[in-house]
Each structure stands twice: as C-alpha cells, then as structure tokens.
Structure 1
Amino acid sequence: MRAVVTRVQEASVVIDGIVNGQIKQGFLILLGIAPEDTEKEVIKLADKICGTRVFEDENGKMNLNLETVGGELLIVSQFTLFADLKSRRPGFSAAAKPSIAIPLYEQFIKECQSKGFHVEHGEFGADMKVSSINDGPVTLLFDTDHL
C-alpha cells in the first residue's frame, strides 16, 4: 500500500462539477493499493499517517500531529501510484483490481474515522479533479513495504 500525503491548508475533490469532499487544514492523501495488500497494511498505514508529526509547534519545528492541530483528511484513491514506468506508456498491472482495492480503500477511510478524524473522500474509479493549497510544501511518501 502506498500513499502520497501532502500537508494542506485546504483541499477538495470535484466529480462531474460537484464538490464531493472538502477539508481545511490537514492531509490530502492519495492512496494506492497493491494486490497483496490486506487489513494489516490498512491499519499500519492509517496509524502511521495519522500519527506523523509534521505540523509546526510554537517554535516553528515540525513537532505536532494531525490530532493536535485539529486537522482533517481528504482521501483519494490513486491506482497510478503503482505504475510501471519502464516504457513511455505506464502500465498498471501492479495495482490491485477493484474487487480488492475498493474494500481496502473503504476500510482505510473507516480506520482514519475511528481515530476520531473528520474524513472526506473521493469516489473510487471516478474522474476526479483534486485541488489543494499545499502548506510548506510538505509532501511525504509512505509505502507499507518500508514502514
């Protein structure tokens, strides 16, 4: 499971011209799921992301986590995080099929909500327009194979 996490001042996802999800300060999470991913990876990744301390304290140091600053989450499915880029045209065979990915994507959302966070999200498989105002910018790459 992979996630690109950006610290944002605000972010939104629009589907068919309608705002589907919108947050203020927090994390925009682009989530990619591999065929071998399970509930174990969901729990590990949600815990790691939600506990990451990248918000500035009173001394300007990245020392505060999402909970401390009252942050929110916008989670968007992103199968392209598993792109094979060996040729000029990306291949996506390393990404999980919807039958595996959708339940794990939904479980990841629920896992973050169970930690007490306000979570907004995109729609799996939809053509989405994602906007954000990056804060910092601070962008982190998480991969459960390396956590």
Structure 2
Amino acid sequence: MKAVIQRTANANVTVDNQKVGEIEEGLVVLLGVTHEDGLEDAEYLAKKITNLRIFEDDSGKMNRSLKDVDGSLLSISQFTLYGDTRKGRRPNFMQAAGPEAAEELYEQFNDFVRKENVPVETGKFGAMMDVQLTNNGPVTLILESRE
C-alpha cells in the first residue's frame, strides 16, 4: 500500500457536486493498493499514520500525532498512485490492485484507523471526486507499507 498524506487545516471531498466527506484539522490520505497488499499492510499504515508525529507542539516542533491533536482523517482511494510513467507518455496502471480487492483493503484501512479512535470521513470508492484542502505547513509525506 502507498499513502500520500497531507496535514490540513480543513478538507472536503465532493462527488457529483455533493459533499460526501469533510474534516477540520487532521490529515488527507490518498491511498493506493497494489496486488500483493493484505490486511497487515492496511493495519500497518493505519497505525503509522495515526501515530506519526507531524503536528506542532507548543514549541513549534513536529512532536504531536493525529491522535494527540484529536484530529480527523479524510481517506480518498487513489489507484493512480501505482501509475508507472517510465515508458511513453501514458501511465500504466498494471500495478494497481483490481477494484474489488482494492475496495476491500481500502475499507479495512479505514476500519483500522477508526480502531485507533480517529474519526474517518471518506470519498466514494471508484468515483470521480473533487478534493479541496488547506495544506497546513505545507506538510506532505509519502508512506509505503513495504520496502
């Protein structure tokens, strides 16, 4: 699994001009799933992301986690994270898991985040979505569940 996380002051996602998810302070997570991923990958990333110390403390140092700041997570499925652009001009998405397997692991990831006592809002799996956010910092990181 691959995740692009962005620290945000606020964010929302709309599908067909309808807001389907919205958070205030927290993280926007773009999550991609590949063929080899399983439950252990979803659990690993959920724990890593919710406990990653990337929010500032009173001294201005990144020393607090999403859980420490009582933040929320906006989770967006993002198969294009596994786009291969090494050849030609059109990305190849062969490394992205198929929709059925990817949706199951995406939902499992969200459930693991909830088990960490972090509120989760989501987009709509497989839909064309518009995501708006105020990237706070800006802080943007890429995490992978495998080396």
TM-score, length of structure 2 as denominator length = 0.98
Q: Flag as ranges the 4+ runs of structure 1 deviating above 2 A.
A: none
Q: Measure the CA separation in 1 of the matches of 2:24 and 2:62.
A: 19
2:121 matched residue in structure 1: 120
Shift of 1:42: 0.5
Query: Which 5+ residue runs of structure 1 have no aligned equivalent?
Result: none
Q: Quick check: 1:105 aligned with 2:106?
A: yes
Cα distance in 2 for partners of 1:9, 1:74 equals: 12
Distance (Å, rounded) in 2 between the aligned partners of 1:118 and 1:7: 15
Output the CA distance in 2 between the equivalents of 1:67 and 1:99. 30
Note the residue ranges of structure 2 that are not aligned, 5 or more in a row: none
Offset from partner CA, 1:16-47 (integer Å, 9 cap, x none): 00000000000000000001100010111111
Counterpart residue identity of residue 100, structure 1: A
2:142 aligned partner: 141
Q: Which amino acid aligns with 2:71?
A: G
> How far 1:114 sits from its partner (Å)?
1.1
Match of 1:27 in 2: 27
Please state how far the C-alpha of 1:68 moved relative to its aligned partner.
1.0
2:6 is paired with a residue of what secondary structure?
A: strand
Alignment partner, residue 68 of structure 1: 68
Q: Secondary structure at the match of 1:76?
A: strand
Equivalent pairs, count: 146
Residue of structure 2 equivalent to 1:57? 57
Q: Which residue of 1 aligns with 2:94?
A: 93
Give the aligned residue type for 1:34. Answer: T
Provide, for residues 67-107 of structure 1, a one-character-per-residue CA deviation record: whole Å limited to 9, x for no partner.
Answer: 11110000000000000101211110100001210110011
Structure 2 CA distance for aligned equivalents of residues 116 and 99 of structure 1: 26
The SS at the match of 1:47 is helix
1:132 corresponding residue in structure 2: 133
Task: Specify the code of the residue in structure 1 equivalent to 2:93.
Answer: F
TM-score calculated relative to the size of structure 1: 0.98
RMSD between aligned alpha carbons?
0.6
Counterpart in 2 of 1:15? 15
